Each structure stands twice: as C-alpha cells, then as structure tokens.
Amino acid sequence: MKKNPIIKKMHLLLTSLLFSVFVLTACTVNVNVNTPSAAKDEATEAPATEVTQADIEKNIVGIWMLSEQDEQPVLTNEKGIFDIVSTTEAYISISSTNGKAPWIDRMESEININDNVVTIAFNPHEGVLIKHEFAITDISDDAFSADYTYSRTTDNSGTSVSESTVKLVRIDDDLSDDIIGTWEGHCTSEGSVFDDGKEHRWKYKDDGTYVYYIKDGDDWIPSENTLNEYFVAGNLLCTRWMENGEENREWWEITRDGDTMRWVALREDKYGNTFAAEFEMTKVK
C-alpha cells in the first residue's frame, strides 16, 4: 500500500530535524571540551622541582630546630637542635622532658646524605641506636621540610618506628655564652600558670649548672632543689632539677637584647589547649 504523500513529507521533515539536533548537540559538546578553561582543568600540572643532593649539601650546614610536625607547631618542651657542622659531622641536643629519658647535650652523631635523604644517627648509651631520617622535600637558607622517620633500636626489644612530616628552621644565634651570669625577672604572660606575680632569680654558671633563688623579704635565698643542670643549644634553653626526689625538665626559647633577656615557650594545659608563656628579665650586675 502506498504511503500518503503528506505523511511521507512529514516523515522526511521529522528525520531531517532529528539529524540537525544530533549534529548541533555533537558540535556543542566539542566546543565545550575545547574551551581554554576546560583545557586548563584537564591539563596535567608540571611536577614540582625535586630536591637534589647538591641542593641539600649547599644549604644543610647550620643549626636547625624542629618547628612544625604534621603541620602543627611543636611544643617548646618537645623541640630539639640539630647542629650540622659539615656533611660528615653533626651534633644533637635533644631529649624528652620525661625525667627517665636521656639528657642529650651536643652529642656527636653520624650524618649521611644520600640523594635527598639525610640520616643522623647516634648511640645515647650502649645497646641503643637512634636514627633521625629526613627525606627532604624542600630546602632553603632558612628552613627545610621533610618526610621524617624516627627509629629506636635496642638490643632487647628490637626497633620501634614513627613517621610524620616536619619543618625545621635555621637558628642564626648561639646564646650559650650570653646566658652566663645572674638574671632577675618575672612572668609577662598574664593568666598563665607561670604568672605568680613574683620576681625570680637565676644564676647560670659556665660549668652547666645553675642556682635558682627564692626571695625572702629583701633577701634572695638559694632554693633547696638539687641537680640544677642546663644547656643552651642555639636559642633553646634546656633545664632540669630535682625536687622532692623527682626530676623535672623545662625548655624555653630565649633572645637577648643587651641586659634584657626574654624567654618564650609554647605550652599545653591539662585540657590540651596551647598557650604562650613568657618571661622578661634583667641581668644583675
């Protein structure tokens, strides 16, 4: 049976319209894909410049202090100093505020640089090996960032490992001689646990010991604390003392301007909140 001419014409017209829609849709898709913004979204970013061994050897010599760990500021009581004298000689001044941990004051350490990895290792005492491994991702004159691996190996219990990302900053000043003498001052961070409203006095000797005084009326009386040892590495003041049979430790970051010395520390309270503690003192002549 023959198709009605009118129906045939309508069928051809509909077919033509559908074909036109298909072509326009395809063109529209192609235009969107090839716009500059779309091309930019799909373009692969150029990889970051890798740190080379030459970059590290050029910048690594100096005094470095741990500043950030896993993108968080490090509490002052958990900081340490890496004094890298050369690509073959390094010293560590680092410890825990735990009174049972080693007291590490400028301990000679082995250093090895392989590609972008700097490994610093030392034996705090017989049967124990500690390694600090920094896979450096960025380094400049004043800071370096790294994927950090800490490992502790003992003859008795094997190896324990922890990993994190860290940032270390260069310390330009060594204040180990500047602190020698007697200093008197008070807490300037209002409302902190250190803010007792009292004057304090410390006498730092050149043999690594100090005397802490308590004011009695107009007189300064040496405290009954025993041990009373300290060291300064870079600008990090580390102290320890015995009180009531228990060892206590405390770190401060210090600066000096003439006869004025300031102590600053990032602390954490019992609720896990961080706060800044500060002291300001004057040298007693």
- pLDDT digit string (tens) for 102-112? 899 999 999 99
- CATH 2.40.128.20 segments of the chain: 53-171
CATH topology of domain 181-284: Lipocalin (2.40.128)
CA angle 202, 247, 129 (to 5 degrees): 115
Residues 6+ apart with CB under 8 A from 116: 50, 51, 52, 53, 56, 135, 136, 137
Reduced to 3 states (helix: H, G, I; strand: E, B; else coil), residue 20 is helix
CATH of segment(s) 53-171: 2.40.128.20
Query: How far is the C-alpha of 280 from the C-alpha of 188, rounded, in Å?
Result: 7
Tell me the residue ranges of DSSP E strands in 39-180.
Answer: 62-69, 72-73, 80-86, 89-94, 107-114, 117-122, 128-139, 143-154, 158-171
Question: Between β-strands 89-94 and 80-86, what pairing exists: parallel, antiparallel or unpaired?
Answer: antiparallel
Residues of the chain with pLDDT under 50: 1-47
Q: In angstroms, rounded to a whole number, what is the distance separating the alpha carbons of residues 129 and 90?
A: 16
Q: How far apart are CA 88 and CA 95, in angstroms?
A: 22
- Half-sphere exposure at residue 269, Cβ-oriented, CA atoms within 13 angstroms: 10
* CATH code 2.40.128.490 region(s) in the chain: 181-284
- What is the pTM for the complete model shown? 0.80
Residue 7: the pLDDT is 36
pLDDT in tens, 240-285: 999 888 999 999 999 999 999 999 999 999 999 999 999 999 999 8
